Structure 1
């Protein structure tokens, strides 16, 4: 269930209340006249089944409530109510299959913004991966994958393609390109420092690396893993399964590939630099392709499911 908290101008309250009451899957409607001060208006609250939430939010936005008032949406972790249970049963479709496009767009907008924090996390992740590459330490590689924040702009780019939002697509693209460029430049400087202190050596990079050699060995299997991870990542975002998203983060060698390219560049290993860069680009392409197709499939299947269920209810 979702909880909607609306601030509505007093002269629009009846219209909003009527809209909520007509929406199948809503319950616990409450109106507190004159409760809002900034902006001034009435406070309208209701609970709505997740599978009916997207339609109701779009309808409220169509009425301009987001412009003249406010629309706030929260997830309800626990609702002990016979009315809520009945509302979920009446709402067409299944909650697990529902995609809240406004919520997804808002989340990916925040995650795909090029910020100091984003660059810091990506740079730190790449430096950790650089240590893992030189030491042939798989634990450090996995840790770097988990720290890396690059799936945010990747998800934002996929969402932008499906929603036809060029601004979000451009913002996500810039975050990816600039983020990885800065992170790799920082890692080059870090590697030079580590080499000067004797903690990194060319022999360590050139040695047999059975645990991390896959990082600069792009092949079709790498692409398949990236595609699977991209699909799983989008499903985890649309269903709010954060645990699954962590699994996605440690499945694809984007950050380690960038780190290996940076370290190899420092030691003049053109072959590893090229192969690592190919691995990075291949994985990014696989994630974007799978994420976009997953969202298109969810949108298509949800529309069909809603139509079929709506026809049965009629």
Structure 2
């Protein structure tokens, strides 16, 4: 429930109260004793989904923005008289006016935004370099990225260019700043005693996770955008949802910065692509949800509803084209990941099957120690894998076992790879006899 208080301008008291009577809303009226610009104060309770239609009625009755309308959330309302209103005004979304207020509240002042963004990126970068998932998640609590994403979408559907522009500007500037902070920290920490000597960031699992963006990444971003829109529309859980949005943006931005610091163009490009895809997906899902929820500008002659619709469609089209182009990269990585795992399974199966042949009795397959990577295989002139073989005591090892593996795997898989074989001396206990 909401408690609405309205200062009634001179000459509009009768029309305002008549509008409330037509809506069968209980209200209380007090005479205004201020400077004389208003003649009364009216106060009434209303379900949150009824705020917008009632305020539209009051606007028609003479309540303009130069008056005062205050909408307050209530802790508890004890009355059976509210049941009829709740049945009439069904739904859970907040009013258009409250939505704008929530969006502006979520987008902090510039200095606060920059401070929290820098701090969250510093923490996330430290978490990436130390391979600490807990540290990275902790950094997301600080990141202030939910506000700008929601603000941009709200401003678009409501035709508020100032709000939309502010949201877009904050997002673009913020992510560029996050990449710069990550790069700066990388340059400062690289080759210092705080990191292992000759550290290759590509081998850090938390970094590698953000340099192989697949279509699965879209689910995080789309889900975060939808959750953000729902949390704002229903005024619940925004802080936790903000963490999900930040997880989709800050770690890959910091990873891109580290790629620049270490001079790994592939890392910077892959992580940067992930940042852009996630950013577009969050904005797309939030914008669609707000529009489908029925949020529109104030329905008077000052707004062309068709122009707003065209603006929304235009922005959706722009985001869609951007995602489509970037999806080429996601599709390539997704396909490469699938082929990598598929070929790795096939290599393992065929290598083990070969040693199951009786002629290799006493030789046991232990595993492939070099992980197969389809991208490296496709770009390398000589890709080599190492197979570990256990040799039981007294077993003679064929001198050309590596070549036999090579021939067998080439025939079975069609892959042109070089094979290195490592041996592990084994002792096997006597088998129990029945």
Q: Normalising by the residue count of structure 2, what TM-score does the alignment of the two structures yield?
A: 0.62
Find the aligned partners of 2:49 and 2:162 in 1 and give their Cα distance: 28
Going from structure 1 to structure 2, the CA distance change for 1:183 and 1:86 (only over 3 Å counts) comes to same
Give ranges in structure 2 of 5+ residues lacking alignment: 296-434
- Name the residue aligned to 2:117: 122
Q: Equivalent of 2:203, from 198, 202, 208?
A: 208
- Name the residue aligned to 1:303: none
2:2 matched to 1:5? no
Going from structure 1 to structure 2, the CA distance change for 1:155 and 1:229 (only over 3 Å counts) comes to same
Find the aligned partners of 1:115 and 1:267 in 2 and give their Cα distance: 30
Q: CA deviation at 1:122?
A: 1.3
- Name the residue aligned to 1:93: 90
- Name the residue aligned to 2:41: 43
- Name the residue aligned to 2:300: none
Q: Equivalent of 2:28, from 24, 30, 33?
A: 30
Going from structure 1 to structure 2, the CA distance change for 1:114 and 1:34 (only over 3 Å counts) comes to closer
- Name the residue aligned to 1:141: 136
Going from structure 1 to structure 2, the CA distance change for 1:41 and 1:118 (only over 3 Å counts) comes to farther
Give ranges in structure 1 of 5+ residues lacking alignment: 301-314
- Name the residue aligned to 2:14: 14
- Name the residue aligned to 1:305: none
Of 162-171 and 194-203, the range deviating more from structure 2:
194-203
Helix, strand or coil at the partner of 2:210: helix
Of 179-188 and 122-131, the range deviating more from structure 2:
179-188
Q: CA deviation at 1:200?
A: 4.3
Going from structure 1 to structure 2, the CA distance change for 1:58 and 1:200 (only over 3 Å counts) comes to farther
2:180 matched to 1:185? yes
Going from structure 1 to structure 2, the CA distance change for 1:258 and 1:19 (only over 3 Å counts) comes to same
Q: CA deviation at 1:267?
A: 1.7
Compare relative contact order (CA 8 Å, sep 6+) and give the higher one, 1 or 2.
1
Find the aligned partners of 1:167 and 1:68 in 2 and give their Cα distance: 20
- Name the residue aligned to 1:169: 164
Q: CA deviation at 1:72?
A: 0.8
Q: CA deviation at 1:289?
A: 1.2
Structure number with higher helix proportion? 1
Q: Is the 8 A contact 1:5 1:71 kept in 2?
A: yes
Cα deviation digits, residues 122-157 of structure 1 (max 9, x gap): 111111110111011101111122221111111112
Find the aligned partners of 2:186 and 2:118 in 1 and give their Cα distance: 12
Helix, strand or coil at the partner of 1:67: coil
Going from structure 1 to structure 2, the CA distance change for 1:6 and 1:200 (only over 3 Å counts) comes to farther
Q: Equivalent of 1:287, from 282, 287, 299?
A: 282
Helix, strand or coil at the partner of 1:216: coil
Helix, strand or coil at the partner of 2:3: strand
- The alignment covers a number of residue pairs equal to 294
Q: CA deviation at 1:37?
A: 4.8
Coordinate RMSD, CA, aligned: 2.5
Q: Is the 8 A contact 2:6 2:42 kept in 1?
A: yes
Q: CA deviation at 1:11?
A: 2.5
Find the aligned partners of 1:219 and 1:39 in 2 and give their Cα distance: 61
Going from structure 1 to structure 2, the CA distance change for 1:164 and 1:67 (only over 3 Å counts) comes to closer
Of 115-124 and 98-107, the range deviating more from structure 2:
98-107
Q: Is the 8 A contact 1:30 1:46 kept in 2?
A: yes
Helix, strand or coil at the partner of 2:4: strand
Find the aligned partners of 1:217 and 1:60 in 2 and give their Cα distance: 54
Of 208-217 and 72-81, the range deviating more from structure 2:
208-217
Q: Is the 8 A contact 1:52 1:92 kept in 2?
A: yes
Q: Normalising by the residue count of structure 1, what TM-score does the alignment of the two structures yield?
A: 0.84
